[in-house]
Amino acid sequence: MEDIVHKSLTVNGINMHVAEIGQGPFVLFLHGFPECWYSWRHQMAFMASHGFRAVAPDLRGYGDTTGVPVNDLTKFTTLHVVGDVVALLNAVAAQEEKVFVVGHDWGAMIAWALCLYRPDKVKALVNLSVAFSPRNPSKKPVEILRAVYGEDYYICRFQEPGEIEGEFAQMGTKRVLKNFLTYRNPGPLYLPKGKLFGSFGDSADTPIILPSWLSEEEVDYYACKYEKSGFAGALNYYRALDINWELTAPWTGDQIQVPVKFIVGDLDITYNAPGAKEFIHKGGFKRYVPLLKEVVVMKGVAHFIHKEKPDEINKHILDFFQEFPLPSSSTM
């Protein structure tokens, strides 16, 4: 990864760390939880080798991006994060009218929001794991999750500031990361209060064996960042879910007017959520994303699909973006 260039840019009132490699049409990579730009390094190098300019920021609250008060969860709405992304594009890709975007997990949710708020900025989107979720006009997201799954569901457990962070501290940063990154149960993830050990199928005295696609080096990289920043910034995305609901009322019923390829693993907890498969495959998804070109379901793959199957994901991204007219090359 020695060819990747790192910069800190002042955008939208924060100091955003950005990684970049290559020259050519601009591809923006948006990471999820519990990761940072580093999770895209394989895709970035691949796209750069095929004549693209790959750029991946640490989103606000993550990694080496600073300047956001992590004790204020109201600063972590999708409007704030999309504002960061638009400011980044204006700063480093001003000469390109539209760019390609790839998102995973929370990065996928931010990519959907970017396409909803500013479709003029996006040429095409490849989203992994998280399908578009239309706004429910009558119920808040956390209310729905509590009703369906109960208080021990991981997103519900993330809601109280400081609580889950304290339990993460007892478990240790590296073990927390290993548990999330290696989780392969397609059922819902429950984190009972005070019983974090065992929630992932492990015990306190049992070492976690990493799969072949996840190295100790990668876990160490994430751990280094989270030990410096803490988890609060990343968890604030979940804590702002209901605020997002309040702020996005004007977009109720709106559609994503951007060409999209969606890829998900059949073991992904998002794909196995109640009603998800029906929505994705029986017309709901296409109704809200009318320019949906393809849905790819990868067999035997869980949530971190770009780690488990990097070569296949790389090919899917390249093949889709090459279907569109490519602008001339550019650099930061």
Q: Which residues are the active-site residues? A: 105, 238, 303
Report the C-alpha gap between 147 and 159 in whole angstroms. 15
CA distance 66 to 70: 10
Tell me, letter by letter, the H, E, C secondary structure of the chain. CCCCEEEEEEECCEEEEEEEECCECEEEEECCCCCCHHHHHHHHHHHHHCCCEEEEECCCCCCCCECCCCCCHHHHCHHHHHHHHHHHHHHHCCCCCCEEEEEECHHHHHHHHHHHHCHHHEEEEEEECCCCCCCCCCCCHHHHHHHHHCCCEHHHHCCCCCHHHHHHHHHCHHHHHHHHHCCCCCCCCECCCCCCCCCCCCCCCCCCCCCCCCCHHHHHHHHHHHHHHCCHHHHHHHHCHHHHHHHCHHHCCCCCCCCEEEEEECCCCCCCCCCHHHHHHCCHHHHHCCCEEEEEEECCCCCCHHHHCHHHHHHHHHHHHCCCCCCCCECC
Number of neighbouring beta carbons within 10 Å of residue 204: 11
Retrieve residue 10's tokens: 């002042």
